[in-house]
Amino acid sequence: MKLSDLQQHFFNALLNQENNFKNYVVDQGALNVEQRINIYQNAYKARLIESIETDHEILGYYLGDHLFDEMAQGYIKAQPSNNRSLRHFSNQLPEYLKITHPFKEHPVLSELARFERYLLDVFDAADAERATLEYLKLIPEHDWADMKFRLHPSAQLFTSEYNCVECWQALKANQPPPKPINQLHSWLIWRNHDQLTEFVSLEAMERQMLEMMLTGETFANICNELATVMAEDEVSLFSVQRLINWLDKGIVRSLITE
Amino acid sequence: MTLDMLQQTNNFLGFGLGLRTQHFQEVITNQPNIDWFEILSENFMVAGGKPRYYLDRIKERYPIVMHGVSLSIGSTDPLDWNYLKQLKTLINHVDPPWFSDHLCWTSFKQINSHDLLPLPYTDEAIKHLSERIRIVQDFIGKPMLLENVSSYLSFKDSEMTEWEFLNTIRRESGCFILFDVNNIYVSSRNHDFDPMDYINGIDVDSVLQIHLAGHHDFGSHIIDTHDHDVCDSVWELYERTLRRFGPVSTMIERDDNIPELNELISELDQARNIYRNVFSNLSSENPTTKPAGLIE
Ligand SMILES: [Fe+2]
Q: Are A46 and B32 in contact (CB under 8 A)?
A: no
Is residue B287 one of the residues assigned to a domain?
A: no
In a mutational test of the A interface, the residue from B28, B46, B123, B153 whose CB has the highest number of chain A CBs within 10 Å is: B153
What local confidence, expressed as pLDDT, does residue A28 receive? 93
Dihedral over Cα of A242, A247, A250, A256: its sign: positive
Q: Are B178 and B190 in contact (CB under 8 A)?
A: no
Is residue B85 one of the residues assigned to a domain?
A: yes
pLDDT reading at B74 higher than 60: yes
Q: Are B221 and B190 in contact (CB under 8 A)?
A: yes
Pairing of strands B176-180, B207-212: parallel
Ligand 1 centroid to Cα of residue B99, in Å, is: 13
Residues sharing a CB contact under 8 Å with residue B90, sequence separation 6 or more, in sequence order: B41, B44, B45, B66
In angstroms, the CA B151 to CA B103 distance is 11
A257 touches chain B (CB under 8 A): no
What local confidence, expressed as pLDDT, does residue B151 receive? 97
Is residue B155 one of the residues assigned to a domain?
A: yes
How many Cβ atoms are within 10 Å of A190's Cβ, its own excluded?
Answer: 22
| Segment B125-172, tens digit of pLDDT | 999 999 999 999 999 999 999 999 999 999 999 999 999 999 999 999
What local confidence, expressed as pLDDT, does residue A121 receive? 95
Pairing of strands B222-223, A156-162: unpaired
Q: Are B163 and B188 in contact (CB under 8 A)?
A: no
| C-alpha dist (Å) from residue A84 to B68, B69, B80, B84, B246 | 11, 9, 10, 12, 36
A30 touches chain B (CB under 8 A): yes
B115 touches chain A (CB under 8 A): yes
Beta bridge pairs of residue A156:
A189
Residues sharing a CB contact under 8 Å with residue B268, sequence separation 6 or more, in sequence order: B15, B16, B17, B34, B251, B252
A119 touches chain B (CB under 8 A): no
Nearest alpha-carbon partner for A189 in A213, A150, A155: A155
Helix (H) or strand (E) holding B16: strand B15-18
Q: Are B25 and B46 in contact (CB under 8 A)?
A: no
Is residue B226 one of the residues assigned to a domain?
A: yes
Helix axes B123-140, B162-173, angle to 10 degrees: 40
In angstroms, the CA A210 to CA A220 distance is 14
What local confidence, expressed as pLDDT, does residue B286 receive? 44
What chain B residue is nearest to A9 in terms of C-alpha separation?
A: B108
Chain mean position to CA A44:
24
In angstroms, the CA B213 to CA B179 distance is 12
Q: Which of residues 70-99 of B touch A (CB under 8 A)?
A: 70, 72, 75-76, 80, 83
What local confidence, expressed as pLDDT, does residue B56 receive? 95
What percent of chain B shows pLDDT beyond 90? 87
Confidence of residue B2 (pLDDT cuts 50, 70, 90): very low
Residues sharing a CB contact under 8 Å with residue B183, sequence separation 6 or more, in sequence order: B147, B148, B149, B150, B211, B213, B224
Is residue B295 one of the residues assigned to a domain?
A: no
Ligand 1 centroid to Cα of residue B203, in Å, is: 19
| Segment B93-135, tens digit of pLDDT | 999 999 999 999 999 999 999 999 999 999 999 999 999 999 9
Asked if B153 and A36 come within 8 Å (Cβ–Cβ), the reply is yes
What local confidence, expressed as pLDDT, does residue B281 receive? 66
Is residue B290 one of the residues assigned to a domain?
A: no
What chain A residue is nearest to B189 in terms of C-alpha separation?
A: A29
Q: Where are the beta strands (DSSP E) in chain A?
A: 148-151, 156-162, 182-191, 197-202, 252-256
The three-class DSSP label of residue B103 is: coil
Q: Which of residues 197-256 of B touch A (CB under 8 A)?
A: 219-221, 223
Chains A & B: contacts with CB separation below 8 Å: 125
DSSP string, A206-240: HHHHHHHHHTT--HHHHHHHHHTTS-HHHHHHHHH
Residues sharing a CB contact under 8 Å with residue A19, sequence separation 6 or more, in sequence order: A13
Q: Residue B165's domain spans which residues? A: 3-278
Confidence of residue A110 (pLDDT cuts 50, 70, 90): very high
Q: Are B144 and A44 in contact (CB under 8 A)?
A: no
Measured between beta carbons, which residues in chain B are less than 8 angstroms from residue A124? 46-51
CA angle A212, A215, A220 (to 5 degrees): 45
End-to-end CA distance of chain A: 66
B24 touches chain A (CB under 8 A): no
Chain mean position to CA B51:
21
What chain B residue is nearest to A51 in terms of C-alpha separation?
A: B114
pLDDT reading at A40 higher than 80: yes
Q: In angstroms, what separates the C-alpha of B249 from chain A's closest C-alpha? A: 28
In angstroms, the CA A70 to CA A68 distance is 5
Across all residues in chain A, what is the average pLDDT?
95
A25 touches chain B (CB under 8 A): yes
| Segment B187-213, tens digit of pLDDT | 999 999 999 999 999 999 999 999 999
What chain A residue is nearest to B77 in terms of C-alpha separation?
A: A4
Beta bridge pairs of residue A187:
A158, A201
A33 touches chain B (CB under 8 A): yes
Conformation bin of residue B67: beta by default, left when phi > 0, alpha when psi is -120 to 50: beta
Across all residues in chain B, what is the average pLDDT?
92
3-state secondary structure A80-119: CCCCCCHHHHHHHHHHHHHHCCCHHHCHHHHHHHHHHHHH
Asked if A82 and B106 come within 8 Å (Cβ–Cβ), the reply is no
Measured between beta carbons, which residues in chain A are less than 8 angstroms from residue B114? 44, 47-48, 51, 81, 86
What local confidence, expressed as pLDDT, does residue B4 receive? 54
What chain A residue is nearest to B54 in terms of C-alpha separation?
A: A195
CA angle B38, B42, B47 (to 5 degrees): 115
Asked if B156 and A2 come within 8 Å (Cβ–Cβ), the reply is no
Is residue B289 one of the residues assigned to a domain?
A: no
Domains of chain A in start order, with CATH, are 1-105 (no CATH), 127-258 (3.90.930.50)
In angstroms, the CA B194 to CA B240 distance is 13
Domain count, chain B: 1
Confidence of residue B294 (pLDDT cuts 50, 70, 90): low
Q: What is the CATH number of the domain that holds B92?
A: 3.20.20.150
Is residue B201 one of the residues assigned to a domain?
A: yes
B22 touches chain A (CB under 8 A): no
B47 touches chain A (CB under 8 A): yes
Chain mean position to CA B244:
17
Q: Which of residues 182-221 of A touch B (CB under 8 A)?
A: 191, 195
